[in-house]
Amino acid sequence: MRNDRQKIAPAFLLVIALLGWFALITQLYLNISSKVNPLPETLTRYFSYFTIDTNLLVALCCSLILLMPNSVAGKFFSRQSTQTAIALYITIVGVVYNIILRQIWDPQGLQKIVDELLHLVIPLLFLLYWLIFVRKNELKWSNALAWMLYPFVYGIFVFCRGYVSGFYPYPFIDMSKLGMNKTIVNSIGFVFVFFAAGLLFIWLGKLLEKKKQA
């Protein structure tokens, strides 16, 4: 059974990588072709979205494991803790978008396809990949704290960038509209969400490993 999974895993990774790069490149094309902002601002805003950055992590992870598994980057993305962290991040992307953000806009045409890939299809596929193919016997409870680094650095960047430019990628962290107090409360809330979700992933991973050994 384990050998069968190992044979299927590369195909699973390939599908996720191809869908990921297609969605990311197409989204960038749509942003640039809209000509709403100058190119430097368009590029900066593109990488200001947690959705884009996290889908980029997913695409890189799948691609490097497939193409360069023995490289430094390939070994890093092959780690259980790294793949679990990425599964955590992309799952939060899917959950937050579909619960909070989906109803605030109605994309059409190609944008609709890209939107579904970035916020629904890829999160589900990578979560399934993690559940089925990724070993979890090396996960530690302390990993949950280390996994906070990525969202913490992202948050610092977004708030510094927003303070200077006035652009905030998501309405629930828009300090210009919500004010500092409300934004801080929302940010603290997301800190707890990330940490609690990280603990949940570790618990689930340990549970799945116990069932394998039973």
pLDDT at 67: 95
Identify each DSSP E strand in the chain by its residue range: none
Q: Where does residue 168 rank: exposed (0-12), middle (13-18), buried (19+ CB within 10 A)?
A: buried
Instruction: List Cβ neighbours of 44 (8 Å cut-off, separation of 6 or more).
Output: 161
Residues 6+ apart with CB under 8 A from 207: none
Q: At 8, is the pLDDT very low, low, confident or very high (cuts 50, 70, 90)?
A: confident
Residue 105's pLDDT is 86
pLDDT tens for residues 25-83? Answer: 999 999 999 888 899 999 999 999 999 999 999 999 999 999 999 999 999 999 999 99
Does pLDDT of 102 surpass 80? yes
The span from the CA of 32 to the CA of 213, in Å, is: 51
Distance CA 24, CA 199 (A): 29
Parent domain of 123: 2-213
Of 188 and 82, the structure prediction assigns the larger pLDDT to 82
- Alpha carbons 202 and 85: distance in angstroms, whole number: 10
Q: What per-residue confidence (pLDDT) applies to 210?
A: 85
Lowest mean pLDDT among 8-12, 87-91, 117-121: 8-12
Q: Are 138 and 82 in contact (CB under 8 A)?
A: no
Cα separation, 147 vs 154, whole angstroms? 12
User: How much is the pTM?
Assistant: 0.94
Count the domains in the chain.
Answer: 1
- Other CB atoms within 10 A of residue 54 CB: 25
